[in-house]
Amino acid sequence: MLVYKILRRPEWDAFRSNGETKGAPVDLADGYIHLSTASQVTETAAKHFRGESDLVLVALDPAALGEALRWEPSRRGELFPHLYRPLRAGDVVWDKSLPLGAAGHIFPEGVV
């Protein structure tokens, strides 16, 4: 199982350049990096990135994130993965563009 982070292209570029990120403004405000499971990521995209193009979907191995990854209730009490440390380049299993289509974001095959 993988968990996912959606980043806007400038956030992704800064992450690649710096080798780590503390996340987007919402992550900084909340004190942790918001992640999603495969079953949660489409709703996350629709809710927080509606109409946005040029996004990057980043896949992470939850086991490799260690104790800094916590599963906490969020939407409808569902448990979401939250990362309580910077996300590091070495954490990334893969990254893919997340284009916007007519009906919403187009996820890579096998993710949803």
pTM to 2 decimal places: 0.94
- pLDDT (tens digit per residue) in 62-103: 999 999 999 999 878 899 999 999 999 999 999 999 999 999
Going along the chain from its start, the domains and CATH numbers come out as 3-98 (3.20.170.20)
State pLDDT tens for residues 23-48: 999 999 999 999 999 999 999 999 99
**Burial classification of residue 71, based on how many CB atoms lie within 10 Å of its CB (0-12 exposed, 13-18 middle, 19 or more buried):** middle
The contacts of residue 48 (CB under 8 Å, 6+ apart) are: 6, 26
